[in-house]
Copies of this chain bind each other. A is one copy, B any other.
């Protein structure tokens, strides 16, 4: 803030942990970064958009894409991995945009988010928007459709995330920022390059039995059971299924991050389970969330 003029719209990234104040040094182990080894405000203080996704190579491709879109390309096209000291997660930065991989599933993204939230807090970042760009299975949608998540729900279609703390289950809500979701939908309509819908996203702990697939190593139910389950999900408003949205929504909400989930559907689960589209088609689909989010970021930056 300049002088004494209040800045009413400024929203910091929050931690909720009094113990952090007592730490002399905070080691962000899974990033291979730390408060005593890195000047986090200098490196990350200008971050306004954090984009996260499961695959390291996809998040590298995203930083190259967004650099070109923002006319901030490195002439040598070199985007160093900020987390080069570890192979758990990868991180890239161009101007106000940070791109971070999170691996597969709730535990993997939760570790990354704990350390990311502390990183943004230590760096004194303000007004940060975070978007998960992912892949998913669609329910009754044409493959390639992009789903902007209205609400993340669990495998019983309820908007909650269960976290076990000291052996006891704590239930947390999975609300996402509705206005951000609407803005992303609007961006997609302006782009007019692919179908985008707003809907609920089911977040599961398993890709095979947990998503009613018939092609895992184990399966004790029938095609009819599967169809009945997926149709109940669809009737509850579920458009797609993935494995990270619930804890992502919960943790971002708790830390004051404006959050959205944008996933492309790679197949229509009512018609099959195997990802048998060609590599080329799947690659094309996976670019859609990044095109949409790139367009949103440009609009927000007035480019």
Contacts and interface: CB of A to CB of B under 8 A. Distances in A.
Interface of A: 15-20, 23, 25-27, 29, 54-57, 85, 87-88, 103-108, 110-111, 113-115, 117-118, 121, 155-157, 163-167, 204-210, 212, 214-221, 223, 225-226, 229, 232, 243, 251, 254-255, 274-276, 279
A54 B20 CA distance: 28
Given A23-B274, A87-B57, A276-B27, A107 B217 contact: no
Nearest to A206: B110
Which of A157, A209, A218 has the most CB atoms of chain B within a 10 A radius of its CB?
A: A218
Contact of A217 (B215, B223, B251): B251
A276 B217 CA distance: 40
B19 A207 contact: no
Given A105-B107, A117-B217, A164-B210, 5 more contacts: A26-B274, A107-B204, A121-B217, A163-B206, A218-B254
Contact of A218 (B17, B232, B275): B17
B165 A156 contact: no
Q: Could you say how many copies of this chain the assembly holds?
A: 2
A88 to B, nearest CB: 7
Nearest to A32: B279
A26 B273 CA distance: 11
11 contacts: A29-B275, A55-B88, A104-B105, A105-B106, A107-B205, A107-B243, A111-B208, A156-B167, A165-B220, A166-B212, A167-B229
Contacts of A276: 25, 27
Contacts of A19: 214-215, 219, 223
Nearest to A232: B167
